[in-house]
Chain A
């Protein structure tokens, strides 16, 4: 008996959903943060962060494997009972809603900074919420298709990062590990957080067609994210001088400014606008999962009204208080602390707990 039979996603959709949820606006500032903490060795911290996220991801998939037809919602209720389980679900729901809100705010901030400086944020969010509603009111399958198609549509963007390399100095990267491992390790927490988003896989597992490839899929998704981060960071480090990079809030955006064609000046405007599609693949799963949790909690099948309500709440919050970059970064710090618990601590914990739980249950039965 499969509850989610009509909503299956392929392995590719699974990969791109996770990858899409991970890559958002964070990468725009990542090179600067890494440079602040570890200088030009900062990129080494990314593979280390990748390692942690892969380990957490594998725990996550292994936990989900025990209950192949359940989403996190059913798993938590099964393991902890109705009350505690539902509380845990509420925590996840708030987390996803908060995540969606942060990406929305960051997206609107960068659009405001580069394109529409005089338009109020809530109008931009209103604009964002139109495609969001079209996609998120449907099931996970549509989300998967959207993420997959979006990935193919924006795959050409990294090519344009190669253009600034022309004027770069590779010597900036040398010598590797000039100040030892310590600054690198201090940058690891930042990079760990930049992999947040893979926890959507908790909800994707029962929908996956070929469940035997789940571990492979989530690893590929993490690796894609890691490669993109490393690539962008190295390009930034090579192009900007090691001290100069700290002056730019979002060095990646300034990097794009250099791209220019004879028939099209300021090509960065086009790339930045298209980058919105990348950002959208991060907020859409979050909006969907938050409303999925809430509709499951209320025992409803149709979650499209919840999507509208969540979007209205997000727009209302922004209308009430328009956040700035600094505020948004503050919120992000808060969010990241929660994410650490829910994405990196919860999977191993759940894995061990479910192992013990199954053992005990079997013993009781015998």
Chain B
């Protein structure tokens, strides 16, 4: 996709590019060089000499990748040493097999493998027990695969498996001895919930899949695996309900993920940037979560969960605007209470977006709206302040953002000092000196509290960002500026799409049925159907669960 832009030039671009065309390279070698030269020139590449050399280097390696193993073990180990010549941590353990005295070699990277498993279940039985070498090997490990090309061996070793090579055989054994450093399952750090589960996702993709499978032990929970990144080779897994989730969305999602051509993706946030619909929008279009229960709920609603290996948060797509205001706790508490909290969240959204802007507009333009007594109070508080209201507001909001960022980045014990410095020193002293007014401090504080009420961090950050253009527009055009700003946001939200499904639903293509879980949270037995916005096919998700007693 972005390859065709023709804008990227230089080293990185080439290495990427030619890796992308790896499979074509063999044919290009066979006398088509002049043609490919021409084509490359047409695509806008100038330093073709470099390109050519890099091609050749990769070609040799490519040839080796497809080569099969030799029957001579010494030759194979030499080859391995050549292949991993820059990896001194590679272990090649040569030993005679106890029963037949055949030479064998076990190859692995010690940091990525489980040493105990290798010692107890691979080396010990092979070296000490007596067995018939013509029958199966006495390796007591669950997953064993046969490998026969160097490419497979390289991938297996780099992926944390160990490879057993036997003298006189042209196939090796790939043994699943993965055991890289791992973290314990702990409480989700960023999405705190009172009643939800206490296990959060971790950095290992297979464990994350297992966490979701625990919630939906059903055969229709389908797993699709893809690999993203030429160097990173990240395993990306799609999880969805095969008989529920929309096929169009699935196709779209698969195409978008497969089209990514990149060195490596480190974080799920990066993956989002490659697959989202509108990269210029301030709003998040794909949700990130680190809670398995949230992910499972979303799968059951007909959405897709994208798990990326090495990343402790998973993606949920397609999403809509409203779903960023739903949290797990809503479904665990009594519905009246959670409806009330939902309404409060939307109220908080409006406050976070509009309160400073409204203050600026009312104070500097349309002060006739404010009743006299209140206006006097405000005027009294502002009497010493040398700045116009908008500057005052922007300064205070900026300081608030700086404090938030500082508190986030500092180590926890020092982080508390930020609160003291910010709250007491800046807040009180600034008012006393007369740089800002008391009212402004109240406005900023209320805005901050409101913006942290939104359960999703990404959504709350984008709202905090949008506050600034709103303030400027209010400073320039008063109430009209706010209304036009609101119209712009609505117009943008209405035109956004998340993987081809409308982002504004159930509001913008108004769906009455989906409103049950929007501003209010209806009782669970009343929500008989899945949300239509996801394109889910069987819409009924429960029967009559409410009986009159």
Interface residues of A (CB under 8 A from B): 10, 12-13, 111, 115-116, 119, 124, 127-128, 130-132, 134-135, 138, 141-142, 144-146, 148-150, 152-153, 262-267, 269-270, 273-274, 276-277, 280
User: A152–B518 Cα gap in the complex (Å)?
Assistant: 15
User: A12–B480 Cα gap in the complex (Å)?
Assistant: 28
Contact A149 B368 (CB under 8 A): no
A115-B366 contact given A13-B509, A146-B491, CB 8 Å threshold:
yes
A127-B480 contact given A266-B369, A276-B487, CB 8 Å threshold:
yes
Asked whether B305 is an interface residue with its Cβ less than 8 Å from the other chain, the reply is no
Asked whether B477 is an interface residue with its Cβ less than 8 Å from the other chain, the reply is yes
A142-B478 contact given A131-B484, A263-B371, A276-B484, CB 8 Å threshold:
no
Asked whether B26 is an interface residue with its Cβ less than 8 Å from the other chain, the reply is no
User: A264–B480 Cα gap in the complex (Å)?
Assistant: 17
User: A277–B483 Cα gap in the complex (Å)?
Assistant: 8
A276-B483 contact given A146-B494, A265-B371, A266-B369, CB 8 Å threshold:
yes
Partner of B487 from A111, A152, A280 at Cβ < 8 Å = A280
Interface size range on B against A? 20 to 34
User: A263–B372 Cα gap in the complex (Å)?
Assistant: 10
Measured between beta carbons, the chain B residues less than 8 angstroms from A263 are: 371, 374
Contact B504 A145 (CB under 8 A): yes
Given contacts A141-B509, A145-B508, A265-B369, 5 further A-B contacts (CB under 8 A): A127-B473, A131-B491, A134-B492, A145-B495, A276-B487
User: A13–B510 Cα gap in the complex (Å)?
Assistant: 8
Contact A116 B508 (CB under 8 A): no
Measured between beta carbons, the chain B residues less than 8 angstroms from A141 are: 509
User: A280–B483 Cα gap in the complex (Å)?
Assistant: 11
Interface contacts (Cβ under 8 Å), in number, total: 102
User: A145–B488 Cα gap in the complex (Å)?
Assistant: 14
A-B contact pairs, 30 of them (CB 8 A): A10-B510, A12-B510, A13-B510, A111-B480, A115-B365, A115-B478, A119-B477, A124-B480, A127-B480, A130-B484, A131-B490, A134-B488, A134-B495, A135-B491, A135-B495, A138-B495, A142-B491, A142-B495, A145-B502, A146-B491, A152-B507, A153-B490, A262-B371, A263-B371, A264-B369, A265-B371, A269-B366, A270-B369, A276-B487, A277-B486
Contact B509 A145 (CB under 8 A): yes
Smallest beta-carbon distance B282→chain A, Å: 12
User: A13–B368 Cα gap in the complex (Å)?
Assistant: 37
Contacts of B356-383 to chain A: CB distance below 8 A: 365-366, 368-372, 374
A127-B490 contact given A13-B509, A269-B368, CB 8 Å threshold:
no
Contact A130 B488 (CB under 8 A): yes
Partner of A149 from B366, B371, B372, B490 at Cβ < 8 Å = B490
Asked whether B212 is an interface residue with its Cβ less than 8 Å from the other chain, the reply is no
User: A134–B489 Cα gap in the complex (Å)?
Assistant: 9
Smallest beta-carbon distance A284→chain B, Å: 8
